[in-house]
A and B are shown apart, each in its own frame.
Chain A
Amino acid sequence: MEESPVVLGGPVSVVSARPVARVLAHLRRHPTVPCGVVIVVAIASLGMLAPLLPIAPPDLPRFSHRLAPPLSAGYLLGSDQLGRDILSRLIWGTRTSLAAGVSAALLALTVGSALGISAAYYGGRLDHFFMRAIDILMGFPEILLAIAIVAALGPGLTHAMLGVALANVPFYARGMRGAVLLLRANEFVESARAAGATDLRIIARHLMPNIVAPMVVFVSLNIGWMITETAGLSFIGLGAQPPTPDWGTMLADGRTVITVAPHVATGPGVMIFLAVLALNVLGEGLREVLDPRAR
């Protein structure tokens, strides 16, 4: 049976007769989107290839080379207050920061989708209970909820990632609930049920494929924010702890020497900005391709 895919907000066909042609046409109209893809891929590759690159260990202090300016011998981007190579810490920090942001997004997506889909599919008291609980969670500003969770669990990168993920669960749950509510009344769901399909099968085989598009759009627009939030928690001392190389902790290090060595904070700041900017551009592009209302 043909099922009409939906995006958040309304059942609309996202798969036209020539999807590839449409995507290519869109990319021609918006050349910033390929730029976003290139930057995201480049940053992610840099992080993944860190162990293979000929760079100094990120935690190696050399006190005789403290606060070396950029383009010094052996220090392309300079060194920090402990004489550690900023370039090396940036590259290794890419792994930590991206991994934390992506993990937080995936966790929020998994938990939020599970709650949102089951609430919408089963409806009734379960839906009422979940949605009221989510309303209460949304009574906290997102950042405050993440900070409260870290306060309870204690500072650390894993706890920061968990805090950011859980603080974002309500948004994913609401979004996915909305998407499934629109699908639930469709004939193909009724037909599957009449054919004897179990709830799990209906959700997995009939509903999930139709909410992949809104999921992708939602995550792509949110993932940059997650990276900023986890880096922010590290910046204020609640996330990654020294000596772990992480963009947020590097910025915090840079702040302490900002009057004498502004270059220490420049690298991590540029990396966060570039990564988030590229992801936002990419997310906007995906939204325009996958969500017809955005075009």
Chain B
Amino acid sequence: MSRYIAQRLTWVAVVLWGVSALTFVILRLTPGDPAQILLGPVATAQDLARLRGELGLDKPLLVQYALWLAHVVRGDLGRSITLHRPVLEEVLRRFAATLVLTAGAVVLAFGPGIALGVVAARRPGRTADRLSTVVTIAGVSIPSFWLGMLLIILFSLRLGWLPGTGMYSPVGQGTIPDLLVHLVLPAVTLGVLPLAVIARVARTGMIEALRENYVTTARAKGLDEIAVTVRHAFRNTLVGIVTVLGLEMGFLLAGAVYVETVFSWPGVGLMLVNAILTRDFPLVQGAILLVATTYVLINLLTDLLYAYLDPRIRFG
């Protein structure tokens, strides 16, 4: 196992280096002079030349990348042009809001997704299975940015049950119950896609598991169907579900951008979109780097968990 972990860590280091290089290059390809963007249209030629020198923009691209990376590894992602604050501080603050939203979506998707898949797998082709198929195909087809608006219209505007924007009430004290009430609609919106995917994986895995010899043996031993389903078939399906859950979590971090826009949720996605539209490139770079790094690390954890749960992976 330790050899497998060492291999994965080495490869993750390479991917993270690639992610940093690509983030740097993509933003350097942007038309326009970063010094001009930072100082605005009224800057003099001397000011521009001085800032270029200070930022190292007059140096070769490779040197610029090395300087930028040296700052990044020390936690210095520069200062936001529009917010006039350190990028890391702002990105981390926003990222916490995105993590809350993503965690809410995963919690809402995990249980119902598994339940739907398991119930469907018990009797393939019957009503429950057909219902599960409809839910899963609709779940992967409905755009989150429209579903969010539908939920706002129904539960916020028509019924008045739940708030439709923000993370806390403007006049509140920022309490946990206030946060949870605001979290329901965005988390449901974001959670529909992973719910559909988990249900699908659970259904497929359970159908396969229920056909295995060990399940027939368990039945022959006289175990009741619930014990066979839960203790024998489901435990083996769980490996696949955990893997999908890990992948979906990484995907949701970036996918939250649409949901955050619909619900004005103050997460890193909404910040990224605003930063792009206002050409605040240090903030764009910081947000992309942080989300991509987290995605890589979640994938690493998923791989390790998968290898831990399924020895065939690490010894394969």
Which A residues form the contact surface with B (CB < 8 A)?
A: 132-133, 135-137, 139-144, 147-155, 224, 228, 231-232, 235-238, 251, 254-255, 258-259, 262, 265, 268-269, 272-273, 276-277, 280-281, 284
Contacts and interface: CB of A to CB of B under 8 A. Distances in A.
Interface string B101-125: 0000000000000000000000000
Contact of B146 (A148, A237, A273): A273
Given A141-B295, A268-B146, 17 more contacts: A133-B18, A135-B15, A139-B18, A139-B292, A143-B255, A148-B284, A151-B284, A232-B258, A236-B257, A236-B258, A269-B143, A273-B146, A276-B142, A277-B137, A277-B142, A280-B140, A284-B137
A236 B261 contact: yes
B273 A236 contact: yes
A155 B14 CA distance: 31
B18 A232 contact: no
A238 B292 contact: no
3 tightest A-B CB contacts, nearest first: A136-B18, A269-B146, A141-B254
Contact of A152 (B30, B137, B144, B295): B30
Interface string B241-262: 0000000001101110110011
A141 B253 contact: yes
Given A255-B149, A272-B146, A136 B22 contact: yes
Nearest to B272: A147
Contacts of A228: 143
Q: Secondary structure of the B side of the interface?
A: helix
8 contacts: A140-B22, A140-B295, A141-B253, A147-B276, A151-B281, A237-B277, A262-B149, A269-B143
Given A147-B257, A148-B26, A151-B284, A277 B141 contact: yes
Given A262-B153, A281-B137, A276 B26 contact: no
A154 B146 contact: no
A224 B292 contact: no
Interface string B54-94: 00000000000000000000000000000000000000000
Contact of A149 (B26, B149, B262): B26
Interface string B1-37: 0000000000100111011001100110111000000
B295 A259 contact: no
B223 interface: no
Contact of B292 (A133, A140, A284): A140
A147 B256 CA distance: 13
Given A136-B19, A141-B292, A152 B26 contact: yes
